[in-house]
A and B are shown apart, each in its own frame.
Chain A
Amino acid sequence: MGCPHCGRVHEAPGPDMCVRCGWRLAANVPDTSLQWVWAWFFAGLIAYIPANIYPMLRTQSLGRTSESTILEGVVELLHHGSYSVAIIVFVASIAIPIGKFFAIAYLALSIQRKVRQGVHGRYRLYEVVEFIGRWSMIDVFVVAILAALVQLDFAATINPGIAAISFALSVAFTMLSAQSFNPKTIWAYGDHSKT
């Protein structure tokens, strides 16, 4: 059996620990990774709700305070004609997280249901989810940078709203969810042959 961490192959029954990296070795241990996936998934989902209904940014400009949620921000940007920015924000803050939720849910469900088809496709999907996860933070970055830069007191001040924290948490949870995913399980039940 192979070390799940470094890949060193041991003879079975072998030591409890990987002789190279010390990772715990177990054969046919009930895989709990899916629980982790689901747990982080739901945490991310829960965090995603306030991230959308609460304001992302509190903009104070000359005494006027305006708050806007992510979606309002997108709509506002569209009204202003900044279509490209609107699309970027929409993709980064809405399309990707939601797509990620769907992807993770699909992967997790397919493993639970021991779906055998499309193993390669699912693996590719998993990799995409893993890769793209960190880029969802682009919104949080923007908010963080704006909030740090625009502190001009009365003239203009931008403060992050509750949604910023929720969104960051949501993204973090979904990333953890994706990372908890044990790609081996895709192969465990899958049809190894490319179909």
Chain B
Amino acid sequence: MSEHSSSLPDVEGPGQSIWRNLSLVWLVPVFALVVALGIAWQAYSDRGTLIEILFENGAGVTAGETTLRYRDVVIGEVEGVHFSDDLRSVVVSARVENAILPFLDEDARFWVVRPEISAQGVSGLSTVVSGVYIEGAWDSVPGEATNSFEGLENPLFVRPGEEGRRITLNVAPDMQLQGGTPLIFRGIEVGRLEEPRLVGDNMTIQVDAFIEAPHDARISSATRFWDSSGFSIDFGADGLSLDVESLASLVSGGIEFDEVYTNGAEVPDGFRFDIYSSEALARASAFVTDVGGEVPVSVQFDTFTRGLRAGLTVQMDGERVGEVASVTVHSFETDTGTERRHVASLLLDPAAFDALPDGAGPEELYDYLADAVENGLRARLSAEGLITSEFRIELAEVPRADPAAFERDAVPFPRIPAVATERPTMNTTAEGVLERVAALPFERLLTQAIDTMASIEDLAADEELRQVPAEAASLLADARDLIGGEETQAIPRAAFAAVTDLRDILAELRESGSIEALTSVLAQADTAMGPVSEASERLPDLMANLSALSETAAALEIEALVTSASTVLATADTFLSSEELAAVPPALSTALAELETLLTALSEADVVGSLNSTLASTEAAADELPALVEQTELVLAQIGTLSSAYGTRSVFLTEAMDVLREISAAARSIAQLARTIERNPNALLTGR
């Protein structure tokens, strides 16, 4: 250009400005550059933040492929998987969307979702083909962002930030619950259990449960939880009923709950409920105790501890006051070396103690127990039941117990002294029963029985013996005829009538002033007779007789007469009332009839003379009485002889009867034993 300008200085062309000749096409690369830079910047800013999650193992987690998800939406991707410095854990570094980052505070949890087939169903199935992913859960409140997290080994059943209520349940050791077990309210799943854990000296198992809103409002002190797993067969008066809960709970267990009474009190978060083993128990508990507040005590058993196990009932005065939570073995250093003792940890319910006021706490219970122990309260393992022994721990006042004290400072819990367990008897050992059965002389018994049967047969075949019943029968017929005879039948009536009359007369006599009255009557009669005798000379003898009679009557001690009469009558009464009355001579009847007539006449105070004759007749009759008695005795003797003859002959029979009775008793016991064994055939094997 310089040569041009030197030769032609005036015709300098237009300045070749770069900008002037700049073509618009340059906008294209500029635009491309802007777009490229824009994309680059966007990619960089969208890259997210790197976080680290520590897992125990990195199964299935692949850098660049495994995604990070929240509520099943991808929020990041794993960038690298490497070990921590000490190779103890796997560090998964992942990039998370920046928008999520503020929520990743301390409560964020991560776990690896893998395909899982559980009783609740199949989960994470998509991960079978797509590979695992990392699921995160956190609440919806932004917090201080963190970059490093501890990953969980198991999926979180309850996500943080979920609406609901968290409670704690005490689990019985034999329930075997799993994390994720559904909580069921009237057949609807309203919550889940987390993983059960051991607490406090490994005595109890607790599990946290989460109940979703709005069902958490149903939790009150009236709420009871029970294990509804499996199925129950109830065979009762209303037939066979099979109760099967949902199939999931059949396999893995489900916890059902309900309010067993109304107006339960509010419970705080983290309240501890018990899980009952059945709905019936849970509902029954409403009348027994309030939940919670159980007080632990321990009992150390020195001797026999057969049957001691967790879950045994603790009774006091026949009432359930608690149960055995666990049984452990504690070793002690003693002079003779190390000794091991069974220590049972009991959980007592203060509310079950009548002596304690409502709402009593551990201190009150301990005080009460300390007093009671001083008064002889001891713990004791006891058993009941014949074949199947039902063990339990009794708190009972033991007379003549060795002095002991309630040890408040004992480990692990305040200790109630124990007394030696009642030695197992027939009650506790089926072996004993079996031994007895084995010891029974079956063969000898059978031989004896056969012999006895043979003897009985012989006896029965004996002619004399066959006659015995016939003789007895005829004798009895005779006796019946005798007794059934009309005369005999009449005797008692007549005798009784006479006796009654006699008694009436005697009573009247006694009433009417008695001896003096009679004497005076007789004197009057004497006096009256005096003129008569004077008047009538023909009757001096009579008068003398009469006078003598009057004197006799006057001298007579009526009381003695009465006594003898009543003795006679009593004898007669006894005799008459005796069923062994064999024969009574009609004379007695006549005499009695006469006596009756006489007495009637006497009662009418008719003729004094008739009294004499009557008395004479009575005497005559009385004279005949011994003969009657003799006769009766004779009959009785005959009967006696007959019966004794029968009796001596039937010694065999009596013996046979005894033997038979014994046999039947033995047979009954065998039948009982057989029934018992039939009812519980395991008893032969298990010894219970």
Contact = CB atoms under 8 A, between A and B. Distances in A.
Given A62-B130, A63-B126, A64-B130, A43 B65 contact: no
Contact of B29 (A30, A43, A64): A43
A117 to B, nearest CB: 23
Counting chain B CB atoms within 10 Å of each CB, the highest count among A42, A43, A66, A169 belongs to A43
Contacts of A32: 21, 23
A110 B131 CA distance: 56
Contact of A39 (B16, B21, B28, B129): B28
A63 B31 CA distance: 37
B360 interface: no
B130 A39 contact: no
A137 interface: no
A169 B36 CA distance: 12
Interface in B126-143: 126, 129-131
A71 to B, nearest CB: 16
Nearest to B14: A30
A48 to B, nearest CB: 10
Interface residues of B, number: 20
Contact of B26 (A30, A35, A50, A162): A35
Contact of A40 (B28, B33, B130): B28
A63 B129 contact: yes
Contacts of A180: 25
Contacts of B22: 35
A32 to B, nearest CB: 5
B32 A173 contact: yes
Interface string A7-31: 0000000000000000000000010
B214 to A, nearest CB: 37
Counting chain B CB atoms within 10 Å of each CB, the highest count among A65, A66, A173, A180 belongs to A65
Nearest to A34: B23
Given A40-B28, A63-B129, A35 B33 contact: no
B39 interface: yes
Interface of B is mostly: helix
Interface in A30-89: 30, 32, 35-36, 39-43, 45-47, 49-50, 62-66
Contacts of A40: 25, 28-29
A65 B26 CA distance: 39
Interface of A is mostly: helix
Contacts of B126: 63
A46 B29 contact: yes
A63 B130 CA distance: 5
Counting chain A CB atoms within 10 Å of each CB, the highest count among B16, B21, B29, B65 belongs to B29
B129 A62 contact: yes
B88 to A, nearest CB: 30
A45 B21 CA distance: 23
Interface size class of A (residues with CB under 8 A): 20 to 34
A63 B128 CA distance: 10
Contacts of B33: 42-43, 46
B140 to A, nearest CB: 29
Interface string A160-195: 001000000100010000001000000000000000
B16 A30 contact: yes
Contacts of B36: 46-47, 49-50
A43 B32 contact: yes
Nearest to B23: A35
B130 A162 contact: no
A161 B684 CA distance: 79
A173 B130 contact: no
A152 to B, nearest CB: 14
B39 A50 contact: yes
Given A35-B23, A36-B23, A43 B131 contact: no
Counting chain A CB atoms within 10 Å of each CB, the highest count among B32, B36, B39, B65 belongs to B32
Given A49-B36, A62-B129, A64-B65, A36 B25 contact: yes
Contacts of B28: 39-40, 43, 173
B625 to A, nearest CB: 127
Contact of B21 (A30, A62, A63): A30
Contact of B25 (A39, A47, A162): A39
Contacts of B21: 30, 32, 35
A166 B65 CA distance: 24
Contacts of A63: 126, 129-131
Interface string B603-630: 0000000000000000000000000000
A49 to B, nearest CB: 6
Contacts of A173: 28-29, 32
Contacts of B31: 43
A169 B313 CA distance: 85
A189 to B, nearest CB: 15
Contacts of B39: 50, 162
Contacts of A43: 28-29, 31-33
A76 to B, nearest CB: 14
B34 to A, nearest CB: 9
B341 to A, nearest CB: 61
Contacts of B130: 62-64
A39 B26 contact: yes
Interface string B6-35: 000000000010000111011111011100
Contacts of B26: 35, 39
Nearest to B24: A39
A164 to B, nearest CB: 14
A35 B39 CA distance: 26
B480 to A, nearest CB: 110
B129 A64 contact: yes
A174 to B, nearest CB: 12
Nearest to B67: A65
A32 B32 CA distance: 21
A181 to B, nearest CB: 13
B65 A39 contact: no
A40 B29 CA distance: 6
A35 B129 contact: no
Contact of A35 (B25, B65, B131): B25
5 contacts: A32-B23, A39-B23, A39-B28, A40-B29, A46-B33
Given A42-B29, A64-B130, 19 more contacts: A35-B25, A36-B23, A36-B25, A39-B23, A39-B25, A40-B29, A42-B33, A43-B29, A46-B29, A46-B32, A47-B32, A47-B36, A50-B36, A62-B129, A62-B130, A66-B65, A162-B39, A173-B28, A180-B25
Interface of B: 16, 21-23, 25-29, 31-33, 36, 39-40, 65, 126, 129-131
Interchain residue pairs A-B with the least CB separation, the first 10: A63-B130, A42-B29, A43-B29, A39-B25, A43-B32, A35-B23, A46-B32, A62-B129, A43-B28, A39-B26
Interface of A: 30, 32, 35-36, 39-43, 45-47, 49-50, 62-66, 162, 169, 173, 180
